[in-house]
Chain A
Amino acid sequence: MTDTAAVLLDGIEKRYGQTRAVDGAGLALFPGRVHAVVGENGAGKSTLLKIAGGVIAPDRGRVLVLDRELRPATPREAIRRGVAMVHQHFMLVPTLTGLENLALGEEPTRLGMLHLSPLAADVERLARSLRLEVPLDVPVARLSIGERQRLELLRALRHAPKVLILDEPTAVLAPAEARAVLGLARDLATRGVAVALVTHHLDEVAEFADEVTVLRRGKVVAHHPPGDPAIGDVGRLACEAVGEEPPVVARHARRGVAREPHVRHERVRLRVDDLHVDPGEAGAGSPLRGVSIELAQGEVVGVAGVEGNGQHALELALSGVLPSRRGTIALDGADVTRVTIADRRRRGLAWIPSDRHAHGIADELPARDVLLLGAFDEAARRGVVDDAELDRSFAGAVKALDLRPDAPELAAGSFSGGNQQKLVIARELRASREGRAALVLAAHPTRGVDVRAAATIRRSLVDAARDGAAVLVISSDLDELRDICDRIVVLRGGAVVATLPPDTPVSVIGEAMLG
């Protein structure tokens, strides 16, 4: 039966202060279809889908689940009615084990005590059949990002939901894992589940979606029913999302950042020599086993690899979060292996972290102040924070990255996911613009940001190199690496297994990653 919607949102409005997060949008999710929801950062995608999942109550509008109103509008009721949701930001309690997280909310008990072993058996069976294997008995804090995402999916799928809402499920995943997740979504749709898929990767839409809704500033600006050729037209969807004419956008939508042929400078800015790192309990995935890399001034070097092959340990070791067991890290010739994060920053490290919630921002701080974190020395001449200076850098970020909303006092946590990332980028790249950065360490810099901002960020990274920094980009987006890097090193099993030129075909890089 495809004539009745599994979920119907109608005339939804939701405001936060002055911001109209959702402004009269509607959405119908039908069984058997993957319905993509696309739009710029801050367009209201997450808010709209959270309303479908009972997480947020709308100010106005109707939410029907299988023709009956969702009441009370709570997650519990939504789950009970068969609506499962995987949030854009992980909704896992890091100190609890995977199994405890899965149990939370409807814990099986026996004689008043938790009784999780039958659940574990069930979940393991489900995990095997869906190929979502993940360790269940360690605290989630120790799992890699990919494992956490699998855990979220497992939880969502535990009760055979009728509706599955996926808010940017692939943003944090390596390409192979992303394809597996999308393939799973497709599969479930074939079996009659209604799937909603939020994504910024329009090529995923073309390949996996049956139906598309485009949001802009809280309104539906386009809807393409199944069979509409626009669904496969990446350029057109991008235009609709940003509301611009095709020629302008077509250029933005392509990943292309024109690279001038790299001029090799002699000055070595980063030298990593035989680096060994144990991930410990920091959830850094797998260890590093003897990595050596050298980056000269003006160079952009990409790090590719299947998630869990040491990228995260490399990021945390270079930034100074994780200690190194053996080997050295030198910035501009000075050994910084045992130097704190703050001192590394003083010597010119800029770091765009992969986990912005753990390392990049503080949710409660006003956005303007987030731009100050880790950069007190510059902002506080003579020990007093210069507010005018802060306002200027916020205004700069709004302009350069199209940061939205233009509300410096709003808590960072209230910005949409992509706009939070833009805040971090604005802060970290400020030093390089001013020519003070020695190394820009960018881990998944365009994760979760819309196509236009992604292009801007890529260009800024290249600019940082031109301004004299060495730029190390860790990314699971191989096209991104090929676009902006001078060379790509491939990590496998915690070691560098290949160094490739940027015009290497994706398939060849992929082979090196898999070995």
Chain B
Amino acid sequence: MSRLFTLAFLAQAVRIALPYLAASMGGIWSERAGVPNVALEGTILVAALGAVAGTTLTGSAWLGLIVGLLAGVLLQIVHALVVLIGRANAIVSGLALNLLAAGGTRFLLRALYDSSSNSPAIPGLAPPASTSLLRATVLDPTTWMVAAVVVGTIVALERTRLGLRVRAVGEHPEAAASVGVPVARTRAVALAITGATAGLAGVWLAFDQRQFSSGMSGGRGFIALATVVIAGWRPLPAVGFALLFGVAEAAQIVLQDQNVVAHQVVQALPYVLTLVVLAGWVRRARPPAALGRP
């Protein structure tokens, strides 16, 4: 137990939480604007490949970062077109985009790197792996970008024009339209933000693992979505729950090494936690009134 609650443990927990943090902020932008978004998973995936491809093609990790974010934005813009202009069901669109992202990245992996499993290694932006986990986390610029996304979301949603409009179109689009707020455009902007923020989660993953591997999003988009729901679609509680998941997973890793509890039980920990929180907490949360309504 002594290895729990050390600085290294906390650093580990935060690192695990980073993609949840970024992607859940993305989910909040979309869903508060009234557009259900199960495509977070696919967004993470395409952004991860974008980051790797951008890095290998240009030789610059910074350009890779930008390509990754753009890939995420692109996917969410497709979501916007399908849902806002095509008037299709947002859940169906999101599921389709997830499938498309899974298949498309596999195809590109083969086309670009002639591999069915993973890309060649890239440097990423984090310091070399030899540094301690704590140092590596603190010195990694993507950590700070995630922090900026979180703070930006919290502030922007409450205190900016865009944030106010997003909240309005997600609750009562007719009322927003009646005072001249362009509902579809506001939602499209929110979705573009979702693409960039959830995309950041993908970029972080690729840089953390210094490569792209097939299906590397590994359900993180769905955990982020669960985080959004548990948090009642509010950013600050979402931060809390994302960190809680990080702690649970970090604990799982530690406990697994120590072999104190059957590892199947330990592995289930984050998911049990999700269910417990869902059952105990989520009843009080109310989704945006116009979620999923055109």
User: CB within 8 Å of B: which residues of A?
Assistant: 55, 74-76, 79, 85, 87, 90-96, 100-101, 103-107, 109, 112-114, 155, 364
Residue B161 CB within 8 A of the other chain: yes
The 0/1 profile, CB within 8 Å of A marked 1, for residues 155-166 of chain B is 000011101110
- Interface centre among A75, A101, A104, by most chain B C-beta atoms within 10 angstroms, is A104
CA gap between A91 and B159 in the complex, in Å = 22
CB-based contact B165/A104 at 8 Å: yes
CA gap between A93 and B293 in the complex, in Å = 15
CA gap between A87 and B175 in the complex, in Å = 10
CA gap between A85 and B178 in the complex, in Å = 9
CA gap between A301 and B163 in the complex, in Å = 48
Pick from A91, A96, A107: contact of B178, CB under 8 Å: A91
CA gap between A301 and B177 in the complex, in Å = 42
In angstroms, how far is the closest chain B Cβ from the Cβ of A440? 30
The 0/1 profile, CB within 8 Å of A marked 1, for residues 175-189 of chain B is 111111100000000
List chain A residues, Cβ under 8 A from B177.
Answer: 55, 75
Q: How many interface residues does B have (CB within 8 Å)?
A: 20
List chain B residues, Cβ under 8 A from A74.
Answer: 180
List chain A residues, Cβ under 8 A from B174.
Answer: 91
Given contacts A113-B159, A113-B160, contact A94 B172 (CB under 8 A): yes
The number of residue pairs between A and B whose CB atoms lie closer than 8 Å in the complex comes to: 68
Pick from B163, B168, B180: contact of A93, CB under 8 Å: B168
Residue of B nearest to A85 (CB): B178
Residue B31 CB within 8 A of the other chain: no
CB-based contact A93/B161 at 8 Å: no
CA gap between A249 and B51 in the complex, in Å = 75
CB-based contact A112/B168 at 8 Å: no
In angstroms, how far is the closest chain B Cβ from the Cβ of A137? 14
Further contacts, 11 of them, CB under 8 A, given A87-B178, A114-B163: A55-B178, A75-B180, A91-B174, A94-B171, A94-B172, A95-B171, A96-B168, A100-B164, A104-B175, A107-B164, A114-B161
Residue of A nearest to B173 (CB): A93
Pick from B160, B165, B168, B179: contact of A75, CB under 8 Å: B179
CA gap between A101 and B176 in the complex, in Å = 9
CB-based contact B167/A95 at 8 Å: yes
List chain A residues, Cβ under 8 A from B164.
Answer: 96, 100, 103-104, 107, 114
In angstroms, how far is the closest chain B Cβ from the Cβ of A92? 6
List chain A residues, Cβ under 8 A from B159.
Answer: 113-114
List chain A residues, Cβ under 8 A from B293.
Answer: 364
CA gap between A364 and B290 in the complex, in Å = 12
